[in-house]
Chains A and B, each alone.
Chain A
Amino acid sequence: MKRFVLRGGSRAGIWVLLAMLMFWSLAPVAVMVFTSFKPRSDIFAVPTTLLPQTWTWDNYATVFTDSSMPRALFNSIVVGGLVAVATLIFCFSAGYALARYRFRGSRPLALVILLGQVVPLTVVLLPLYQFVSRLQLLDTTIGLAFAHLAITVPLVTWMVRNQIAAIPVELEEAAQIDGGSRFDAVTYITLPVCAPGLAAAGMFAFLQSWHEFLFASVMTSSTEARTAPVALTEFSNEFNVDWGATMAASVVLTLPIVLLFVLMQRYFVGGLTGGAVKG
């Protein structure tokens, strides 16, 4: 179909270009994976090699038995779960209203929520920190989850709105004609139809929280609340970095979300591009 651009290139040519693209995308990931299996002597060997001379699981042992990482991973799952659930509740109701009703002020309201996406996080950092502090929620998973809603709600409202707008309103009306309330129609028709999309949106919220570093590093300090991205930076101090353990922890942090992404890719990509791109 789109032969035109690369028509001059032969079949081999396109594979060379693909190889370049893959090298660019994956070489650093390979560095991460292979370094995580290197013993200390290999890590600081000169000249550096990509593959370990001897393979070892020691770095993973360090991460799981001799660091705060297990607890941090648990905290990350808790925060991400809270964020995903809260985001879906807030955004499904708002997204539904924005997709199905037109009322005075609906467009400005939609824009206000949408513009939440472009507010720099550093700008809200100090006021939000003080707010969470006043609620006595500093250094708790709940306080951090609350702050993370600032990131997820604007984005996910938009994703959910587009998903609901794509479902014909006639489906709901049919249920209402059959004697159901609008609430029944939403519960039995709309929710099941957009369930995969909502799952992807929830996933998306979870991932945003799983990734987040700035709020997490400022609002959590103790092992009981610190999330994995913050814990990752603690394998290093000013003078010494345990690169083997750092890379092993990076792999542990990355692997679950890459797997999730591969499983959910179809919904994920659709939900993301649905808002902005049309044929």
Chain B
Amino acid sequence: MSVRNIPAGAVGRRRKAGHPVALIVPALLLTAVLMIVPIVTTVVRVVNDGGEGLSRLFDMPNIDTVLLNTLVWTVAAVAGGMVVGCFGALVLQSKHLRGVALWRALVMVPWIIPGVVAATIWRWTLSTDYGILNQTLLDLGVIGEPVRWLSDPDVVLWAVALIQIWVTAPFVMLMVSAALSGIPEERYEAARLDGAGGRAILWNIVLPAIRTTTGICVLTLAIWALNSFTIIYVTTSGGPAGASTILPILLYQAFQNGDQTLVYAVALVQLLIGAVFAVLFARTMRTDLEEQS
């Protein structure tokens, strides 16, 4: 596009500004090089391989486990993150609390510490013999013998999901808190005058008002969980015996083995799953875009 394409009326005002597209080009080129070209490469490579990578991927003996793990991990991380996040947001909205600014800052800590650090702390906390969690639970008599959080194949996926929840719940608290503060006081008063009780207010005023926000939160948490690598890799590397391997871990292992065909095949599967969420995400954000402009 060139300057000549601008409608005549607009030229006067924008004479000295240059064409707006020129301002976007650097960021766009960067996005192209960093995102679009890799995506196209992935699709082209899988097609050129004649689907060999895909058939090898789906012939892998543990592929069912990996897909199931990815699903369970994502659902657990999203559900847990939403529950903890909404709980936190509601507690921090309470009128009876003093020093809310401090508490709000403190609950953000799990989110702002680096993922590697979070994973490392939890790996130590969840240690079977020396971990403080097992020790505490034993002292309280909740468990009879130490739980092998990160080495028992039946437990490990829930344990790593717990870490993901710990890291991501503050984001939900932040977003939901902001949405709750946006509800005008009059709306509560009006409802109370109409004789609504606490539950009716929660159901008919609070929940509808924060629906968009919770939608964005669910989508964001799901995307983060599906793409998550660091937490599982640092705590278990996908083990024991693949019990906590999800798609990104599988891709990384193929990468380390130099198996490019398999890397591209896994990447394509991740892309297709991601595309579904991208459409939902774009739809939510487009409404946002229209309301703002």
Once bound together, how far apart are the Cα atoms of A160 and B119, in whole Å? 31
Neighbour of B255 across the interface among A15, A125, A183, CB < 8 A:
A125
Number of A-B contacts defined by CB within 8 Å: 307
| Contact digits for B200-239, partner A, Cβ 8 Å, 1 yes 0 no | 0110001000000100100000010011011001100000
A31 touches B125 (CB 8 A): yes
**Chain A 101-120 residues near chain B, CB threshold 8 A:** 101-107, 109-120
Of the candidates A11, A25, A97, A111, the one having the most CB atoms from chain B within 10 angstroms of its own CB is: A25
CB-CB under 8 A from B293, the residues of chain A are 102, 165
A124 touches B105 (CB 8 A): no
A273 touches B103 (CB 8 A): no
- How many Å from the CB of A144 to the closest CB on chain B? 13
B202 touches A4 (CB 8 A): yes
Majority DSSP secondary structure for residues of B touching A = helix
A253 touches B114 (CB 8 A): yes
A233: interface (CB < 8 Å): yes
B60: interface (CB < 8 Å): no
Once bound together, how far apart are the Cα atoms of A8 and B226, in whole Å? 38
B155: interface (CB < 8 Å): no
A162 touches B292 (CB 8 A): yes
Once bound together, how far apart are the Cα atoms of A103 and B11, in whole Å? 12
A85: interface (CB < 8 Å): no
- How many Å from the CB of A119 to the closest CB on chain B? 5
Task: Please list the 4 inter-chain residue pairs (A to B) with the smallest Cβ-Cβ separation, ordered nearest first.
Answer: A279-B182, A127-B38, A94-B27, A101-B20
Q: Jot down 24 A-B pairs with beta carbons below 8 A, ordered by A.
A: A2-B90, A4-B198, A6-B91, A14-B91, A28-B121, A28-B122, A28-B125, A32-B121, A48-B131, A90-B27, A97-B24, A116-B35, A120-B271, A123-B38, A127-B37, A128-B38, A131-B38, A149-B30, A150-B34, A213-B115, A213-B230, A213-B234, A258-B113, A272-B174
Chain B interface residues (CB < 8 Å from chain A):
1, 5-6, 14, 16-17, 19-21, 23-24, 26-28, 30-31, 33-39, 41-42, 84, 87-88, 90-97, 103, 105-110, 112-118, 120-122, 124-125, 129-132, 135, 138-139, 166, 170, 174-175, 178-185, 188, 198, 201-202, 206, 213, 216, 223, 226-227, 229-230, 233-234, 247-248, 251-252, 255, 260, 263-264, 266-267, 270-271, 274, 277-278, 281-282, 285-286, 288-289, 291-293
Chain A interface residues (CB < 8 Å from chain B):
1-8, 11, 14-15, 17-18, 21-22, 24-26, 28-29, 31-32, 35, 43-44, 46-48, 50, 89-91, 93-94, 96-98, 100-107, 109-128, 131, 147, 149-150, 153-154, 157, 162, 165, 181-183, 207, 210-211, 213-214, 218, 229, 232-233, 243, 246-247, 250, 253-254, 257-258, 261-262, 265, 269, 272-273, 275-279
